[in-house]
Amino acid sequence: MGSFDCYCAICGGSLTGAGAGSADPRALAQRRRRVERKRQALLAGEEPPPDSDSEASGDETEEDFDALEEEYSYDPELVSEEGLEWLEVVRGLGIDEKTNKAFLSGEGHYMEQGCIYVPVGDDEDFTKFSGYNTSDAAFPVHVPCFKLLTWTFTGDLNAEEEIDKDDLRGSFSALEGGKSLDIDHGPIEGAAQFWESIRGEEFAVTNPIEIPGLSDFLKAKLDSGTFQRPSTNRELRPNVVADPFSQLPYDVLHLVLKRLPGSSVPALATASWTVQVATHHSSFWEMMLRREMPWFWELFELLEDERYSKTGCKRLFLWLDKELSVMYGLRGPLMGIANRKRIWGPCLQIREASCNS
């Protein structure tokens, strides 16, 4: 039987770390040009361009470094050995065959061919479990990923004791897919026979809970004046010939707007004076932030600070929505938030499966 990797049951990500590419300045420059071209194409809704480097000249050619290695490795300035440690800390959602009760183990590590070694509760002796495909499997999960799953069930990262482990393990078993759960893990391509460190997907191995520099990054953005509330509102009413939304009671209009993606509202507001008025206030956009980005609790804590009470939530929402719409090629503290957003999707799918079981 050949060797293979298994993946976190929640995020579908690596349990064995990841690989970084060359730190050679020329390799980095070429890597970043290609990643940025692909990111800009994805943001524009276009087909990503094939790998080529028309900007390269002279001795700055692909032959100077291993092209395949650069494609299947991460930017060495975006990942670090310390920053990847969380990937190798694994807990197992298993079952005690004596009591037929599910349990969440202590912290252990993944070995190979679907096996994880974890301490069972307070037992200091490590026990070997199969990760998938057996009736007594202990499904492997990253510690931060289980915290996010706990949040989607309870609204608290640290309320693990409120999770019904028997129901949860039943849901995991129903969703079992061989090397991970058979759910949508978002825009990542690394989960092959072995984990592949896909260039531009550094966000997928960034800790989604502990994000160094995030608070300072957000404060600097909010302090920059970029998101100040507009002092005036463009008046459409004199130009409106017929506005069907004007016939709707406000409560009904509000329900309609709540069902739209936030990114679609500005276009509708340019065509409807009624919608423009209904969505002019920053409170509407703060509501959209909380509805569409419930995983961004650090931002909400800042917005409650009097210092940021004048923040224009519409501009803030539209900026974040665009930045996080394409996770590929992200850099900086938003990488961790992008991974959190990605993992939120699997968490909701697991919660839905649990509710329906």
pLDDT in tens, 260-297: 899 899 999 888 888 988 898 899 999 999 999 999 99
CA 78 to chain centre: 16
Which one, of 209, 206, 201, lies nearest residue 327 by Cα?
201
Number of H helices and E strands in the chain, helices first, is 12, 6
Q: Are 150 and 159 in contact (CB under 8 A)?
A: yes
What is the C-alpha to C-alpha distance for residues 65 and 29, in angstroms, rounded to an integer? Answer: 12
What does the pLDDT average to over 3-27? 92
Percentage, residues of the chain above pLDDT 70: 87
Q: Which residues contact 91 (CB under 8 A, 6 or more apart)?
A: 104, 105, 106, 107, 108, 118, 140, 141, 142, 143, 146
- With cut-offs at 50, 70 and 90, classify the pLDDT of residue 172: very high
Q: Where are the domains of the chain?
A: 1-51+70-208+329-356, 214-328
Q: Are 104 and 146 in contact (CB under 8 A)?
A: yes
Question: What was the pLDDT predicted at 56?
Answer: 45
Beta bridge partners of 140: 92
Give the pLDDT confidence of 118-155 residue by residue, as tens digits.
766 554 444 656 656 566 778 999 999 999 999 999 99
From the CB of residue 261, how many other CB atoms can be counted at a distance below 10 Å? 9
Q: Are 15 and 140 in contact (CB under 8 A)?
A: yes
User: Tokens 């999707």 identify what position?
Assistant: 345
Is the pLDDT assigned to residue 33 strictly greater than 80? yes
pTM above 0.85, yes or no: yes
What does the pLDDT average to over 179-192? 93
Is the pLDDT assigned to residue 237 strictly greater than 70? no
